[in-house]
Amino acid sequence: MIENELREAFARQEQDVPDASRLVPAIDAAARRRRGRRTFLRSGAAAIAVALVVAVPTVGRAWLTTMPAPTPSAGHTAPDYAGRALNFLVAGVDRLPSWSADTLTRTDAIILAHVPADRSAVYLITIPRDLEVAIPAYPEANFMGMRTKINAAYAFGGFALLAHTVKDLTGADFDGGAIVEMQGLAKLVDGLGGVDFCVDQRTKSIHTGTVYDVGCRRFAGAEIKDYLRQRRDLPNAAQDRERHNAQFVAALIRHGISAGTFTDLDKLRTLYESARSSVVVDTRGRSPVDLAWELRDAVDTVVGIGMPTRLGTTREGDPTGNLEPTEAAEQLFDALRNDTVGEWVATNPTATWSS
């Protein structure tokens, strides 16, 4: 009897319980803030990316191998590179030595390296860090997905989530990837005996005060690291820095060609030893040396492409501070999938630079 009265009392109260969905925004906001406390430290300095996927053979690491497989059946077998276009994702991150190991960082440079099936060129497509994208949910890292700047993807879910995000954006399947850490990059460049590099706009370092004048010369490791970090004093800020980073990738590839690295196993091994402290490369099970050989023709022509973007606006027309892809960018993504990037470059000369 008392049991029935209890049931009835609960049933009466039940009718007065309001809709719970109004709690959702508060839950999400609180979770975001708490997750943010856990993971975010602002990456103050700039960073860099190097498509050493094509130049430097190094070992894959477990945290890279969770990238989306190029084909569902890829499984444990090495992907077959022959006769098709290839895509590689390169992320540049700038971790400071004082940061603890579990401090996640953002990517300051995101480069999609595309090689068409005919191996006629290497296209380095720079994806702006301020690009607003839908970062997909990534339960492995307790990330529920959100729309924000693309450079947060790495902080939320590491390289794997960045790869998912760029795949969602462009439709490109990745055959490999590389993470380049700014720390140690100087060592890499010094190990190569410096790299010949062209400065395309006068740049004053806000970190060291050094002024880099327009022109080509050989750069030492510390100089290149400093130059590639600069963003704040440049007229187009991050966009200029992204172009500089891609130019450096091109310079590295050029260096590899002129030094005969692509056709000399001993030189490849030496480069590998000097790069392993600053670069993590995953070629999805295939030997990086094989890959370098596969790309020996393509690397003669390196074409840089800045992904065309415009400033995003809210529904009310106010600027959001983020970038969004233009029509031309959508056409570029189509070209990536259809292996017609060469044609896209021909019709969009202003978005490209060549080395």
Partner 1 sequence: MTYDEFVAARLQPLLRYAVMLSGDLHLAEDLVQETMVRVQLKWRRVAAADVPEIYVKRMLTNAYLDWRRGPWLRRVVLRPDHDESAPAMATTPDHADAAVQRDEVWSLLATLPRRQRAALVLRFYEGLDDNEIAAVLDCAVGTVRSCISRALATLRARLSAATTTLAMGGEHR
Residues that bind partner 1 (CB under 8 A): 2-3, 5-10, 12-14, 16-31, 34-35, 137, 139-140, 142, 144
Between 144 and 257, name the residue whose CB sits nearer to partner 1.
Answer: 144
Positive or negative CA dihedral for 325, 167, 43, 254? negative
CA distances (Å), origin 69, targets 76, 120, 145, 165 = 10, 25, 21, 14
Between 63 and 237, name the residue whose CB sits nearer to partner 1.
Answer: 63
- Quick one: DSSP state of residue 6? H
> In the structure encoding, which two tokens stand for residue 225, read together?
């690291």
| Closest distance to partner 1 from the beta carbon of 150 (Å) | 22
| Closest distance to partner 1 from the beta carbon of 79 (Å) | 29
Between 24 and 82, name the residue whose CB sits nearer to partner 1.
Answer: 24
| Closest distance to partner 1 from the beta carbon of 106 (Å) | 20
| Closest distance to partner 1 from the beta carbon of 160 (Å) | 14
Residue with tokens 């860090």: 129
| Closest distance to partner 1 from the beta carbon of 139 (Å) | 6
Between 15 and 258, name the residue whose CB sits nearer to partner 1.
Answer: 15
Three-state SS for 169?
helix
Judged on CB neighbours under 10 Å (0-12, 13-18, 19+), 38 is: exposed
CA distance 270 to 346: 37
Between 165 and 245, name the residue whose CB sits nearer to partner 1.
Answer: 165
Between 141 and 234, name the residue whose CB sits nearer to partner 1.
Answer: 141
DSSP secondary structure string for all residues of 54-107: TT------GGGTTSPPSSTT-TTSPPP-TTS-EEEEEEEE---TTS-TT-B--E
| Closest distance to partner 1 from the beta carbon of 217 (Å) | 50
Please give the distance of CA 253 from its chain centroid, rounded to a whole number. Answer: 18
Between 25 and 44, name the residue whose CB sits nearer to partner 1.
Answer: 25
Between 36 and 193, name the residue whose CB sits nearer to partner 1.
Answer: 36
| Closest distance to partner 1 from the beta carbon of 136 (Å) | 11
Q: Where are the alpha helices (DSSP H) in the chain?
A: 2-14, 24-39, 152-170, 185-191, 221-229, 237-258, 265-275, 288-294, 327-338, 341-347
List of residues 6+ apart from 215 with CB closer than 8 A: 198, 199
Closest to 309 measured CA to CA, from 156, 145, 130, 124: 130
CA distance 155 to 140: 13
Three-state SS for 325?
strand
| Closest distance to partner 1 from the beta carbon of 27 (Å) | 5
